[in-house]
């Protein structure tokens, strides 16, 4: 179902007309008052899904002109026409009046349901039920009306609860992903927010894998626009789910209203683009996904692919926003997802296979006067995660980040080795064993020995540069080195010792992530 409303209000008071508010003929048949008549469905199927707005009792042959539509007609048939032709015409008149169905009590007037009535109901697709035992119609109408009023009361209460929920979200300035998640929870089915370009801004799959939700976007149950004051920013959609007391479309519209308020407050949907990229980066780095397919589907929805592409995780250091980085990538014919992580920009880069990833291209995408750390090539989500982490490790081992330049993990054999052995417990045991005295010293005395050692292994042949990287004078730096040598009982001029310490530091950085 697609809603084409232009603007909507959280305070709508129109009469509920959704299937969740009105009873169906099938639901009315479950009422004990009707079950007492031992009902038999003569014409059912899809006809039993017709909505019942009210129950009306009449034996008159001219009752059709008194109906407004949606009534369930209760009758003994005492005043109905006698001939087959007239009976068929009578049923057609009832159908044109929009009744939900006919309940005929068998007895003195009709011992069995007339064939002409059956044939006419079959032709019209009109529910026909025969009561084989006598019941009090007043008891039936009271039961039906009571159930209808209770359903409408529940709907009004639920609408009020939703109004309070989404109003609170709007006033709190809740981000789009929170609004989408609350809408999905209210509906009990997946909800997807897309911008006008069809890019997925936020998705809440509940218990359905995200990849499956995105694969079913062409077959959504309800869709409403996110718009206000004549401006449309996107579409909010949901997959099929169980009925909701307030109406599923109403819930979706209230969620869309909260999103529209957010766009008005933020001056547009620019925040959406930031949100989708930041959430992708956060979920990837935090491994917050049930399956790599979920991340792959979200990436694909934004135009990021792996086929016939070479993909890398990169870290860019310097004064340029992540949004500018993604924009520069698109201008260069690449796809990128970028977000600020602590002091650096972290990005996922997808480059056409025919385009070499040169230093010049990387420098252009990252922006002027920036240092770029590039992870190894990846051909799937897990490979991309490893690439990003390797780039972060490389960046962390280069705290100064002298701009502008491009540094690649592929040119750093030790980083490649640590990345390959990231899950090997022996590597972590080596790191803990070698660095334990320094870790204890820094923890107990708030020292900086680990940082000094990192500067030393980063500049093994130039201790003046290592001292500068540590922001220490040469004399203080040499004092720290002497202390490190004593604590480790190691010769820091020995190449093998430095290599082992370098490996231990690289493994420790990766373990800390």
Q: Where are the beta strands (DSSP E) in 342-410?
A: 344-352, 371-374, 405-408
- The residues pairing with 237 across neighbouring beta strands, listed in sequence order, are 192, 223
Q: What is the rounded distance in angstroms from the CA atom of residue 103 to the CA atom of residue 501?
A: 87
Lowest mean pLDDT among 6-15, 73-82, 117-126: 6-15
Q: Is residue 292 pLDDT above 70, yes or no?
A: yes
Q: How confident is the model at residue 11, as a pLDDT?
A: 37
**Residue 320 banded pLDDT, cuts 50, 70, 90:** low
Q: What angle do CA 134, 140, 142 make, to 5 degrees?
A: 150
Q: Is residue 19 pLDDT above 70, yes or no?
A: no
Average pLDDT (296-305) is: 86
- The residues pairing with 344 across neighbouring beta strands, listed in sequence order, are 341
Q: Residues 38-68: pLDDT tens digits?
A: 999 999 999 998 989 889 999 999 999 999 8
Average pLDDT (372-400) is: 84
What percent of the chain shows pLDDT beyond 70? 91
Q: Is residue 321 pLDDT above 90, yes or no?
A: no
Lowest mean pLDDT among 266-270, 330-334, 449-453: 266-270
Q: How confident is the model at residue 319, as a pLDDT?
A: 67
Q: How confident is the model at residue 367, as a pLDDT?
A: 83
Check residue 489 and report its DSSP letter: T
pTM to 2 decimal places: 0.57
**Residue 470 banded pLDDT, cuts 50, 70, 90:** confident
Asked whether 81 and 61 are in contact (CB, 8 A), the reply is yes
Average pLDDT (358-362) is: 90
Q: Is residue 233 pLDDT above 70, yes or no?
A: yes
**Residue 1 banded pLDDT, cuts 50, 70, 90:** low
Average pLDDT (206-224) is: 85
**Residue 217 banded pLDDT, cuts 50, 70, 90:** confident
Bridge-based pairing state of the strands 344-352 and 309-317: antiparallel
Q: Is residue 18 pLDDT above 50, yes or no?
A: no
**Residue 180 banded pLDDT, cuts 50, 70, 90:** very high
Q: Which position has the higher pLDDT, 90 or 505?
A: 90
Q: How confident is the model at residue 21, as a pLDDT?
A: 58
Mind listing the domains of the chain with CATH numbers? Answer: 37-134 (3.40.1390.20), 155-274 (3.30.450.40), 304-419 (3.30.70), 425-511 (no CATH)
Check residue 460 and report its DSSP letter: T
Tell me if residue 326 falls in helix, strand or coil.
helix
Q: How confident is the model at residue 127, as a pLDDT?
A: 94
Helix (H) or strand (E) holding 317: strand 309-317
């Amino acid at each position: 179902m697609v809603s084409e409303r232009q603007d909507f209000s959280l305070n709508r008071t129109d009469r509920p007309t959704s299937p969740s508010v009105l009873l169906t003929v099938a639901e009315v048949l479950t009422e004990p008052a009707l079950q007492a008549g031992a009902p038999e469905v003569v014409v059912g199927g899809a006809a039993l899904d017709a909505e019942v707005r009210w129950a009306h009792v009449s034996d008159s042959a001219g009752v059709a002109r008194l109906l407004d539509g949606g009534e369930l007609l209760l009758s003994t048939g005492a005043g109905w026409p006698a001939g087959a032709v007239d009976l068929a015409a009578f049923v057609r008149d009832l159908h044109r009046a929009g009744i939900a169905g006919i309940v005929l009590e068998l007895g003195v007037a009709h011992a069995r349901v007339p064939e002409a009535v059956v044939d006419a109901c079959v032709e019209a697709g009109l529910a026909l039920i025969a009561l084989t035992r006598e019941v009090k119609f007043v008891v039936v109408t009271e039961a039906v009306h009571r159930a209808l009023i209770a359903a409408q009361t529940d709907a009004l209460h639920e609408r009020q609860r939703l109004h309070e929920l989404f109003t609170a979200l709007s006033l709190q300035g809740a981000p789009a992903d929170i609004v989408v998640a609350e809408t999905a929870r209210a509906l009990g089915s997946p909800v997807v927010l897309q911008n006008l370009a069809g890019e997925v801004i936020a998705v809440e799959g509940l218990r359905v894998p995200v990849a499956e939700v995105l694969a079913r976007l062409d077959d959504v149950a309800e869709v409403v626009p996110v718009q206000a004051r004549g401006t449309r920013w996107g579409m909010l959609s949901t997959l099929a789910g169980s009925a909701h007391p307030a109406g599923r479309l109403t819930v979706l519209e209230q969620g869309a209203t909260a999103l529209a308020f957010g766009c008005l407050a933020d001056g547009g949907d620019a925040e959406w683009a930031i949100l989708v990229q930041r959430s992708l980066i956060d979920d990837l780095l935090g491994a917050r996904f049930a399956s790599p397919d979920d991340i792959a589907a979200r990436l694909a929805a934004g135009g990021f692919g792996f086929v016939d592409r070479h993909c890398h995780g990169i870290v860019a250091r310097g004064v340029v926003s992540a949004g500018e980085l993604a924009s520069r990538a698109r201008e260069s014919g690449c796809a990128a997802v970028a977000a600020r992580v602590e002091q650096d920009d972290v990005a996922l880069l997808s480059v056409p296979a025919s385009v070499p990833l040169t230093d010049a291209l990387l420098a252009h995408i990252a922006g002027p006067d920036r240092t770029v750390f590039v992870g190894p090539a990846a051909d799937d989500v897990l490979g991309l995660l490893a690439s990003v982490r390797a780039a972060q490790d490389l960046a962390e081992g280069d705290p100064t980040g002298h701009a502008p330049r491009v540094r690649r993990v592929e040119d750093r054999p030790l980083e490649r080795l640590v990345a390959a052995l990231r899950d090997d417990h022996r590597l972590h045991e080596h790191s803990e064993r070698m660095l334990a005295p320094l870790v204890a010293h820094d923890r107990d005395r708030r020292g900086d020995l680990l940082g000094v050692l990192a500067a030393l292994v980063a500049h093994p042949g130039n201790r003046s540069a290592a001292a500068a990287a540590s922001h220490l004078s040469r004399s203080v730096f040499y004092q720290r080195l002497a202390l490190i040598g004593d604590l480790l009982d190691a010769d820091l001029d020995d190449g093998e010792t430095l290599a082992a310490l370098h490996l231990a530091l690289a493994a420790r950085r990766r373990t800390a992530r």
